[in-house]
Amino acid sequence: MLPERFSAKNFDVAHIRSSCATCSLRELCLPVGLNEEEVETLGEVIVNKKKIQRGGYLHRTGAKFQALYAVKSGFLKTCVLEEDGRQQVTGFHMAGELLGLDAISTDMHTCDAVALEDSEVCEIPFSRLEDISRAIPSLMHHFHKIMSREIVRDHGLMLLLGSMKAEERLASFLLNMSRRFAIRGYSETDFNLRMTREEIGSYLGLKLETVSRAFSKLQEDAIITVNNKHVKILNLERLKLKMGNSSCGT
């Protein structure tokens, strides 16, 4: 039931003092293999727990950067906006994921982070994280990996935005959601989306009507069923095929 990562050998849950630390550790140190003392050290960094109501902002563009945020529970989106009001959702974020990496660059947040459902995050003061990184090289290295992974993820999204058709984009998106739910121990074929068609569209570079049509098309083809935000994947394999081949099949 629980995600596989929770069984990591070097990790003993008894050493984590707050449940808040747990959430950050999941992303930040579980795969590192810290010893008990190191986990203690890190646990001390993660101080504040914040609750954000559905629709509330975790941070806004331009706000001073103080801390990274590890999502403890809930679901958030991040989005950047142009002066002319154009908006782009740059990501959806669920438990165990890290937010705010973009803000290190200029000490200001470059995007809005909005809760799509009531959420909890842990604050990780960044300067303290850097200090501790010096003492724990494996933590530093792991942090670098996390940042790098974010870059790789963005490149994947650029490929999607630059070269896929509407249906392929949606298939890709659904498979991504599916995988992330699976990692967290939820069903990979049956889930509720938290975001609107418009938000999906923004993320995928499509208008909401196009997203809706793409959903309908996948349903017609009996690859998924969709009722509003509730999605069932009937045929994972065919969904993967949809993503890969614009020329092949219907």
Pick what 178 binds: DNA, a second copy, none; C-beta below 5 to 8 Å, kind-dependent: none
Binding residues (CB under 7 A) for DNA: these are: 165-167, 196-198, 205-213, 215-216, 226-229
Spatial separation of the C-alpha atoms in residues 37 and 29, rounded to whole Å: 13
Spatial separation of the C-alpha atoms in residues 103 and 147, rounded to whole Å: 12
Sign of CA dihedral 5, 104, 172, 159: negative
Binder among 8, 47, 63, 104 for a second copy (CB under 8 A): 104
Pick what 241 binds: a second copy, DNA, none; C-beta below 5 to 8 Å, kind-dependent: none
Of 134, 68, 139, 76, nearest to 101 by C-alpha is 68
Token pair, residue 59, equals: 């941070």
- Identity of the residue numbered 36: E
Sign of CA dihedral 11, 125, 118, 194: negative
Binder among 4, 64, 152, 228 for a second copy (CB under 8 A): 152
Q: Which range binds a second copy by CB under 8 A, 54-62, 115-123, 159-167, 221-229?
A: 159-167
Pick the closer one to a second copy by CB: 49 or 213.
Answer: 213
In the complex, the smallest distance separating the C-beta of residue 196 from DNA, rounded to whole angstroms, is 3
Q: Which range binds a second copy by CB under 8 A, 13-21, 32-40, 179-187, 202-210?
A: 202-210
Pick what 3 binds: a second copy, DNA, none; C-beta below 5 to 8 Å, kind-dependent: none
Can residue 158 be called a binding residue for a second copy (CB under 8 A)?
Answer: yes
Binders of a second copy among residues 73 to 102 (CB under 8 A) are 80, 82-84, 86-88, 90, 101-102
Q: Which range binds a second copy by CB under 8 A, 12-20, 156-164, 179-187, 215-223?
A: 156-164
**How crowded is the C-beta side of 105, counted as CA atoms within 13 Å?**
9
Pick what 102 binds: DNA, a second copy, none; C-beta below 5 to 8 Å, kind-dependent: a second copy
C-alpha 104: how far from chain center: 18
Spatial separation of the C-alpha atoms in residues 88 and 205, rounded to whole Å: 8
Of 95, 110, 104, nearest to 180 by C-alpha is 95
Tell me how crowded residue 77 is: count the other CB atoms within 10 A of its CB. 20
CA distances from 56 to 66, 96, 121, 175 (A): 19, 19, 13, 27
Of 117, 121, 101, nearest to 109 by C-alpha is 101
Can residue 163 be called a binding residue for a second copy (CB under 8 A)?
Answer: yes
Pick what 119 binds: a second copy, DNA, none; C-beta below 5 to 8 Å, kind-dependent: none
Pick the closer one to DNA by CB: 41 or 212.
Answer: 212
Interacting residues toward a second copy by CB under 8 A: 80, 82-84, 86-88, 90, 101-106, 110-111, 130-131, 133-134, 137, 140-141, 144-145, 147-152, 154-159, 161-163, 202-205, 244-245
